[in-house]
Amino acid sequence: MERDLEQLNSALNSVKILRSNVRRVFESVSNGLRADHGDDGKESKYILELQELLTTVNNNLRDVENSMSNLTPPPGPFSLGNTTYLSQETTQERQALYGQLVNTYKWTDKIREYSALAGNILAANSFNKTYKTFSTTKRRKTQTSNHNVPPEVIENLITSIDRLFPDVTITTNSPFVPNPVIQGRVLKAIIAFKGLMIEWVVVKAHAESNDLWTESRYKVFRKVTENCHAAMCHFYSPMMPELAVRSFLHWFHSYNTLFSAPCKRCANHLHNNLPPTWRDLRNLEPYHEECK
């Protein structure tokens, strides 16, 4: 490929040289005898000049033929798909579209190349943030590495997680935007998904509204919401989005003891009039904000 390009470049270059020298021949022919040919034997001087120019053209032509013979002809016509029709565009402002299209193509091609590199580097330095307990080999096969999935996939994921935790119910009330509401006896959480990624979480009291945009009126749930955002970023894993969602919800489920479990460090229920609002990311143990 690299060599082909080089040869194509040198072939184009020799065509350019040939063209410029042919132009010089015609220039000379059209000008005829000039003052700088002098008086004595001006015809023979002129013919000599023309001869020289034609020899150069001849050499150039040989160069072109040589470089041509080095090129490998393409196997058949290029398939440009629908883009071929762009070249037949007649309206003025759309004629530039083909160039833009090519640029865009090059750009995405580069992105693909760079992201593949980045992916390799990141895979070599894994952070191991998500819980491997979920990733049995059977599941891994079905796991998608793409977060941009049809809504059914998200719905299926939510129902499968719902089955994991019998003490809470997870419902999606909107048919188009799957913002599932997790409703337990302790609290409720409204989660916004973007594809398979968790975009936003709001935790509220049992009786508060299902509105994603207003925070809870209770301090304890505002604190839990804050901690959920931290955990959401912690579990975020673009390579395994489904596992990230499962890990997050597994962690989140430990809040079913929000009011009943004392702090692991100070053994009290209350600190600053708040229960332990933090759950350890690995062992899910409850801690006060100040005790973790």
In this complex, which beta carbon is closest to other proteins, that of residue 198 or of residue 258? 258
Q: How far is the CB of 288 from Zn ion (least distance, A)?
A: 3
In this complex, which beta carbon is closest to other proteins, that of residue 16 or of residue 219? 219
Q: How far is the CB of 257 from other proteins (least distance, A)?
A: 8
Q: How far is the CB of 268 from other proteins (least distance, A)?
A: 7
Contact 194, 248 (CB under 8 A): no
In this complex, which beta carbon is closest to Zn ion, that of residue 181 or of residue 263? 263
Amino acid at 130: T
Closest CA to 96 of 105, 83, 86, 106: 86
The interface partner of residue 241, options being other proteins, Zn ion, none and the CB cut-off 5 to 8 Å by kind, is none
φ and ψ at residue 219, rounded to 5 degrees: -55, -45
The interface partner of residue 288, options being other proteins, Zn ion, none and the CB cut-off 5 to 8 Å by kind, is Zn ion
Tokens of 178: 């799957």
Contact 3, 72 (CB under 8 A): no
- Where along the sequence are the contacts to other proteins (CB under 8 A)? 185-187, 205-207, 216, 218-221, 258-260, 262, 268-270, 272-275
Cβ-proximal residue to Zn ion, closest one: 263
The interface partner of residue 220, options being other proteins, Zn ion, none and the CB cut-off 5 to 8 Å by kind, is other proteins
Closest CA to 251 of 127, 123, 122, 133: 133
* Residue 263 binds Zn ion (CB under 5 A): yes
The interface partner of residue 37, options being other proteins, Zn ion, none and the CB cut-off 5 to 8 Å by kind, is none
* Residue 223 binds Zn ion (CB under 5 A): no
Tokens of 10: 């040198």
Residues with Cβ within 8 Å of 64's Cβ and at least 6 positions away in sequence, in order, are 11, 14, 15, 18
Task: Round to whole Å and give the CA distance between 46 and 34.
Answer: 9
Q: How far is the CB of 274 from other proteins (least distance, A)?
A: 6
Total residues at the site for Zn ion (CB under 5 A)? 5
Tokens of 47: 């013919």
Q: How far is the CB of 205 from other proteins (least distance, A)?
A: 5
Out of 54, 153, 266, 284, the only residue in the binding site for Zn ion (CB under 5 A) is: 266
* Residue 250 binds Zn ion (CB under 5 A): no
Contact 228, 189 (CB under 8 A): yes
Tokens of 140: 């891994």
In this complex, which beta carbon is closest to other proteins, that of residue 106 or of residue 219? 219
At 186, is the secondary structure helix, strand, or coil? coil
Site residues for Zn ion, 134-163, by CB under 5 A, read: none
Q: How far is the CB of 121 from Zn ion (least distance, A)?
A: 40
Using the structure block, give the residue that is written with the tokens 């120019």. 53
* Residue 291 binds Zn ion (CB under 5 A): yes
First and final CA of the chain: distance in angstroms?
58
Tokens of 257: 């003891």
Q: Which residues bind Zn ion (CB under 5 A)?
A: 263, 265-266, 288, 291
